[in-house]
Amino acid sequence: MRLTLRVWRQKNTDAPGAMATYEVDGISKDMSFLEMLDTLNEKLILEGEDPVAFDHDCREGICGACSMVINGDAHGPERTTTCQLHMRSFADGDTIDVEPWRATAFPVVRDLVVDRSAFDRIIGAGGYISVPTGAAPEAHATPVPKADADYAFEHAECIGCGACVAACPNGSAMLFTSAKINHLNVLPQGAPERESRVLDMVATMDAEGFGGCTLTGECATACPKGIPLPSIAAMNKEWLRATRKAGKR
Amino acid sequence: MALATRTDRRPSIARTFWGSTVGKKTVMAATGLIMIAYLAVHALGNAKIFFGAGDFNDYGHWLRVMGAPVLHREWGLWTARVVLSASVILHGVSAYQLSRRDLKARATAYVHKRRRASYATRTMRWGGIILALFIVWHILDLTTGTVHPGFQEGHPYQNVVDTFSTWYGNVIYIVAMLALGLHIRHGFWSAAQTLGVGNATRDRVLKAVANVLAVLLTATFISVPVGVMTGVVS
Amino acid sequence: MTYTDYATGEPLVDTKAPEGPIAERWDRRRFEAKLVNPANRRKQTVIVVGTGLAGGAAGATLAEQGYHVVQFCYQDSPRRAHSIAAQGGINAAKNYRNDGDSIHRLFYDTVKGGDFRARESNVHRLAQVSVEIIDQCVAQGVPFAREYGGLLDTRSFGGVQVSRTFYARGQTGQQLLLGAYQALSRQVAAGNIELHPRTEMLDLVVVDGKARGIVARDLITGRIDTYFADAVVLASGGYGNVFYLSTNAKNSNATAAWRAHRRGAHFANPCFTQIHPTCIPRSGDHQSKLTLMSESLRNDGRIWVPRAQGDTRPPAEIPEDERDYYLERIYPSFGNLVPRDIASRAAKNVCDEGRGVGPGGQGVYLDFADAIARLGRKAVEAKYGNLFDMYERITAENPYEVPMRIYPAIHYTMGGLWVDYDLQTTVPGLFAVGEANFSDHGANRLGASALMQGLADGYFVLPSTINDYLARHPHRDEVDASHPAAVAAVAETTGRLERLLAVDGDRTPDSFHKEIGELMWEYCGMARTEEGLRKALETIPQIREEFWRRIKVPGTGEEFNQSLEKANRVVDYLELAELMCLDALHRSESCGGHFREESQTEGGEAARKDEEFSYAAAWEFTGTGDAPVLHKEDLVFEYVHPTQRSYA
């Protein structure tokens, strides 16, 4: 396959950026999108140009590092991560636009690489269960109904890639935040911190400069792990419950 | 000796609500639902116009004396007006502040444009602005009569027929009601999500209710100018 | 042994190993270890490099204990460490199934599975601690699979006869890592951990013979800085990426461990690498990494190749009597369920015979037609649906209709930095945990044991043993960037990076990485021979020489430069590869993942030579390209007596 790539190039956070056009040839349909970019980069290096910087690591769809908007879609046209997107989803002669995640809370580091540390701070604000090592009771001391365990797992699948934020017209992190809150709040182990968790995480999410939710549903459509949109409603419910409880104290 | 990692100090509930995107959306959801409830009553009242001037004017009179004899004349009406005004203001201010925040959170647009969210979702902001302007015109037109040449205090039926006898009156009203339909379609469902009522199983029901509400209210409201235009109401 | 390219030094003795009955040793060691007064812990700093299961767990736990922790990862977030990709599960001797499991049985299985090349004391401790790991993770909210009664589900894994593997669908590693990451994030938010993401350790600072800090590069700005502490913990993972194509993450690398090795930490058993038999084969030269599919597929899939060489017919057109179900033929009693190393080698053999399938003939069929006929498509889908989907996404072939193609790939490295019972390397104050050390798996790791070891080291072992070192070595002197050792380390690091940038040759870092990888796969992969290893040992210095002549790294060192990161990692692979080949050459026996063709039974199985090689080989660095010194640590088996494995 022969393709025309238009890629966002930006030296660093403060430098201005622009789309640059490249032609790549000899692309196999079996390549992953990142392998296609590898091919471009090998060519650029030998031509003495800076290769396109992009985040990637496991390349099997679980680490959440890869992060690019392809033809306007976070992670491209398939519902998966960029590393698991294959070139068979494109046709010979296509022009493909590749851009970084766009959100004020995710400043561009270079080219397609953005800073997603805001997500880590949201988790640090309450996305955990406080149980110092060694303090745990026997694992079977508290049975968890299977339905609850499955619900927790469904939300714990989030890989923290940030596609939800990139896809949201408001740059909102509600789907990410709600996934962790729903994972932990449904479990009996998470109950003691149920209220503080949601209040603190939502407050941090706001403080990091993410937008609010207008329920456009773009996030859930883009999510490679299928975190469902009702996750947000469930978090709102938790938040309202927590404010009610906080008021009684 | 695990170290403390949480603080107990929290702002007041009001501050928590107003300071949070989730809280502000709750304010919008609650005030939106109040306004929808009001619109439902308003639409029923409007429908009385098809039963003649007497019926309709009696309804207009009742609005002033509702709650009597417990409530003094117009106390009920003013209570409703205060609640509604507060709702409109809170709804509008929240929307304005959240929108500013949202636009700031995504300051750079993608070069490659594409649209996916439904029409109703994408038109919430413009639709909201159209409705706000409409409310102002609507009050000046049919409540105070400020912009209504030949306005007759205490004769609502005549005033309505009068307004819908002008082409611009019809256009403004019908456009605004279509905007209202779209606004309610996304707004009602969205409010349910914000208030945490939505879940995977209820989602279809909520969407259906939102659609039915939007269509019923829009149709009922629009039936009045259509009635005037076709001469059913005159 | 006639090979003379190394010297044999003093034997190595694990001085921390406690004596007495094996079940009491861990208790005894913990009691004998000195403790640090809680009030003094705040004054002591520990550097942790890496945020995977071992590093994340260690960082969080040390911070909970009150130490000041400075932690590093090259990823943009600690949550992305490659532990996240582990699929299968985690072993623990809980015996919830009442099926005869016990700590002793897990200990026994692990020593035997490791082909008697691991320390008994360490493995027993691992089995003991496994029980606590599950408690800890459940309390953290790890959503393990549960049964309808609300209790934890377990399954049997990797040919073990008891069901001791806890799992969270096919994403156990992800869920365990997120648990550790959340505990870590809590301590970061509380100010007890100073976290440096996107910062890569490039050297170790050794002062007066003790590890006192590291040199690290901020990957965004390119700034090189020194960080100091009272002890340094390496949790930087394995070195499987030496092979270029592996199931490791693209950026997983050996630099931290190798730099520590160059500073005096012995590297043990580097030739012990594990090859996983069920990976998706490469689809062409563009292949950048390999994807593993759970071994559980072998429970129902049948492995075969055409009987005839060069048979290119589609699988459906090859009649039953022209197929060779070679595992069932050679190993009638275990069939498709033979251990990983045996299944991998058999696949290589049939491909070497020219009977491989798919592009390049590097693949064998894993056929579910019989299973679908027997159980129905629905049942197969319920069991393996997500794996089939993953396969189809990558290959665009529907495994319900066309047999899957699989091929072995490098998956895990049992070798690593030599550590004593306390997980301390030969450099005092330098500890190694998780896959970065060599300790618990011997010559072969059992399925679902990597997660167990990483978390055991991180949550329970290191946080206990490091106290002893910190209590015995209270550093009165403040070391800072002006210390000669730090200045020298920074100068060396900067010099290397500048040299990489200055060559301005005509080959990319990846091209060299591929070259060394292919060489290693050929000669130091699934089956090794003296001839091949000697050839590799001859070739590697040539590649190294060519590297420094022809490498091209664009850009500068003072910016985000992924080519520079890559090239710098390749520098270390080019040295580590040599040591791996040398280790493989010197160990002329076959054991576990290390198969020397010269040492096999009549049936073609690995033949161990316990008389000669019942030791861990710890290598001391003497200089790039110089003959290293071998230190042997004798392995004593008091509880599990070595037997030859047999799966025929």
Query: Is position B10 within any domain?
Result: no
* pLDDT value of position B1: 40
Best mutation target among B12, B16, B22, B122 (most A Cβ atoms within 10 Å) is: B22
Tell me, yes or no, whether A105 and A120 share the same domain: no
Tell me, yes or no, whether A147 and A70 share the same domain: no
Name the residue in chain C with its Cα closest to that of B1.
C65
Tell me, yes or no, whether C446 and C545 share the same domain: yes
* pLDDT value of position C647: 67
CA distance A95 to chain C (A): 21
Q: Which of C411, C445, C472 is the last residue of a domain?
A: C411
Query: Is position C647 within any domain?
Result: no
Q: Is-catalytic flag, C340?
A: yes
Report, as an integer, the average pLDDT of C15-20. Answer: 92
The structural domain count of chain C equals 2
Identity of the amino acid at C45: T
ipTM over 0.95 threshold: yes
CA distance C469 to chain B (A): 20
Find tokens 């002669």 and name the residue. Answer: A93
Tell me, yes or no, whether A71 and A133 share the same domain: no
Contact (CB, 8 A) for C576 and C524 = no
* pLDDT value of position C386: 82
Tell me, yes or no, whether C452 and C515 share the same domain: yes
- Confidence grade of residue C648 (pLDDT, cut at 50, 70, 90): low
Q: Which residues span the domain enclosing C563? A: 1-272+414-641
Q: Is the pLDDT of residue B171 over 60?
A: yes
Tell me, yes or no, whether C506 and C637 share the same domain: yes
Query: Is position B172 within any domain?
Result: yes
Judged by CB atoms closer than 8 Å, whether chains meet at A124 and C185 is answered as yes
Tell me, yes or no, whether A102 and A18 share the same domain: yes
Tell me, yes or no, whether A79 and A127 share the same domain: no
Tell me, yes or no, whether A166 and A204 share the same domain: yes
* % chain C with pLDDT above 70: 99
Identity of the amino acid at B17: F
CATH number at residue A188: 1.10.1060.10
pLDDT in tens, B120-158: 788 899 999 999 999 999 999 999 999 998 899 889 999
Tell me, yes or no, whether C407 and C436 share the same domain: no
Q: Which of C396, C411, C426 is the last residue of a domain?
A: C411
Burial C189-226 (b: 16+ CB within 10 A, else e): bbebbebbbbbbbbbbbbbeebbbbbbbbebbebebeb
Query: Is position C646 within any domain?
Result: no
Identity of the amino acid at C53: L
Identity of the amino acid at A126: G
Tell me, yes or no, whether A100 and A162 share the same domain: no
Tell me, yes or no, whether A146 and A230 share the same domain: yes
Task: Say if B204 is an interface residue toward chain A (CB within 8 Å).
Answer: no
B78/C384 Cα distance (integer angstroms): 66
CATH number at residue B135: 1.20.1300
Query: Is position C385 within any domain?
Result: yes
Catalytic residue among C25, C29, C212, C340: C340
Q: Which residues span the domain enclosing B128? A: 19-105+117-230
C433/C416 Cα distance (integer angstroms): 10
Tell me, yes or no, whether C179 and C63 share the same domain: yes
Task: Say if B13 is an interface residue toward chain C (CB within 8 Å).
Answer: no
Q: Which of A62, A86, A110 is the last residue of a domain?
A: A110
Tell me, yes or no, whether C302 and C199 share the same domain: no
Name the residue in chain A with its Cα closest to that of C183.
A128
pLDDT in tens, C213-236: 999 999 999 999 999 999 999 999
* pLDDT value of position C2: 44
CATH number at residue A29: 3.10.20.30
pLDDT in tens, C563-614: 999 999 999 999 999 999 999 999 999 999 999 999 998 877 889 999 999 9
E-strand stretches of C333-453: 364-367, 404-413, 416-417, 430-432
Query: Is position B12 within any domain?
Result: no
C37-44 long-range CB contacts below 8 Å, 24 or more apart?
Answer: C38/B1, C38/C66, C40/C474, C41/C65, C41/C66, C41/C67, C42/C66, C42/C67, C42/C68, C43/C68, C44/C68, C44/C230, C44/C231, C44/C470, C44/C474
* Chain A (147-206) residues lying within 8 Å, Cβ to Cβ, of chain C: 149-150, 152-153, 156-157, 159-160, 183-184, 187, 189-190
Tell me, yes or no, whether C101 and C188 share the same domain: yes
Tell me, yes or no, whether C31 and C174 share the same domain: yes
Query: Is position B3 within any domain?
Result: no
Tell me, yes or no, whether A72 and A173 share the same domain: no
Query: Is position C450 within any domain?
Result: yes
CATH number at residue C402: 3.90.700.10
Q: What does residue B206 show for φ and ψ, rounded to 5 degrees? A: -60, -40
Tell me, yes or no, whether A79 and A124 share the same domain: no
Tell me, yes or no, whether A195 and A147 share the same domain: yes
Tell me, yes or no, whether C171 and C23 share the same domain: yes
Q: What does residue C365 show for φ and ψ, rounded to 5 degrees? A: -80, 140
Tell me, yes or no, whether C266 and C208 share the same domain: yes
Q: Which of A110, A138, A171 is the last residue of a domain?
A: A110
Q: Which of C411, C428, C451 is the last residue of a domain?
A: C411
Neighbouring C-beta atoms of residue C542, cutoff 10 Å: 9
Chains in touch with A (3+ beta-carbon pairs under 8 Å) read B, C
Report the candidate in A233, A230, A208, A229 with the shortest Cα–Cα distance to residue A218.
A229
* pLDDT value of position C4: 58
Cα–Cα distances in angstroms (integers) from residue B173 to residues A30, B50, B132, B234, in the given order: 57, 18, 13, 18
CA distance A60 to chain B (A): 27
Q: What is the mean pLDDT of chain C?
A: 95
Q: Which residues span the domain enclosing A35? A: 3-110
C162/C157 Cα distance (integer angstroms): 8
Find tokens 């970061």 and name the residue. Answer: C188
Tell me, yes or no, whether A124 and A64 share the same domain: no
pLDDT in tens, B2-61: 445 555 567 788 888 999 999 999 999 999 999 999 999 999 999 999 999 999 999 999
E-strand stretches of C145-242: 154-155, 165-166, 193-196, 199-207, 210-218, 224-228, 231-234
Burial B149-188 (b: 16+ CB within 10 A, else e): eebeeeebbebbbbbbeeeebbebbbebbebbbbbbbbbb
Report the candidate in A203, A199, A181 with the shortest Cα–Cα distance to residue A240.
A199
C188 CB neighbours in chain A (<8 A) are 120, 124
C554 CB neighbours in chain A (<8 A) are 44-45, 48-51
Mapped onto helix, strand or coil, the DSSP state of residue B2 is coil
- Confidence grade of residue C624 (pLDDT, cut at 50, 70, 90): very high
The structural domain count of chain A equals 2
C102/C114 Cα distance (integer angstroms): 18
Cα–Cα distances in angstroms (integers) from residue C520 to residues A58, A158, A196, C273, C525, in the given order: 21, 36, 53, 11, 6
Q: Which of A84, A110, A136 is the last residue of a domain?
A: A110
Tell me, yes or no, whether C255 and C289 share the same domain: no
CATH number at residue C95: 3.50.50.60
Tell me, yes or no, whether C265 and C407 share the same domain: no
CA distance B136 to chain A (A): 25
The structural domain count of chain B equals 1
- Confidence grade of residue C339 (pLDDT, cut at 50, 70, 90): confident
Query: Is position B59 within any domain?
Result: yes
Report the candidate in A64, A246, B195 with the shortest Cα–Cα distance to residue C75.
A64
- Confidence grade of residue C3 (pLDDT, cut at 50, 70, 90): low
Q: Is C227 left (phi over 0), alpha (psi -120 to 50) or beta?
A: beta
Burial B88-105 (b: 16+ CB within 10 A, else e): bebbbebbeebbebbeeb
Judged by CB atoms closer than 8 Å, whether chains meet at B5 and C65 is answered as no
Chains in touch with B (3+ beta-carbon pairs under 8 Å) read A, C
A13/C383 Cα distance (integer angstroms): 47
Task: Say if B2 is an interface residue toward chain C (CB within 8 Å).
Answer: yes
Contact (CB, 8 A) for B163 and B141 = yes
Token pair listed for A24: 């790549």
> What is the H or E stretch that residue A218 is in?
helix A218-222
| List of chain A residues with pLDDT < 50 | none
